[in-house]
Amino acid sequence: MVFLNYICGIIKDILINAYSGTPETNKAWSLCIRKNNAAVNLIKTISSSSYERLFVSTNLNISVVAGDYIENKGVQPTWVTNPLTTIYQGNIYIE
């Protein structure tokens, strides 16, 4: 969760890298961005059996003002074997 204490603008781009210590089957995995525990915007859905998945969206138009907070929301499939040690890292561009 990220609190936007002093930032106002429009979220335009987002890039989130998810790395798992074990690869998984080629199932659809979605990441979304959620503002103030309400509005949900899809970043990307990826079906891949690799260790690393890069969720990128460059066509967002989400207005934010001071006091808003944003979160990532993952929509996980029913895995055959759950991925282990998943680490998320990313960047959000606010114009």
pLDDT digits (tens, 9 = 90+) for 7-25: 789 999 999 999 888 776 7
Residue pLDDT, tens place only, 34-91: 999 888 899 999 988 888 889 999 989 999 988 888 888 888 888 777 777 888 899 9
Residues 86 and 17: beta-carbon distance below 8 Å: no
Name the residue among 60, 55, 1, 9 with its Cα closest to residue 28. 55
Could you state, in order of their start, the residue ranges of all structural domains in the chain?
Answer: 2-94
Q: Is the pLDDT of residue 1 over 60?
A: no
Nearest to 71 by CA among 19, 31, 18: 31
Pick from 59, 64, 56: nearest CA to 12: 59
More confident residue, 5 or 21: 21
Would you state the structure tokens that stand for residue 95, as one six-digit string? 């114009």
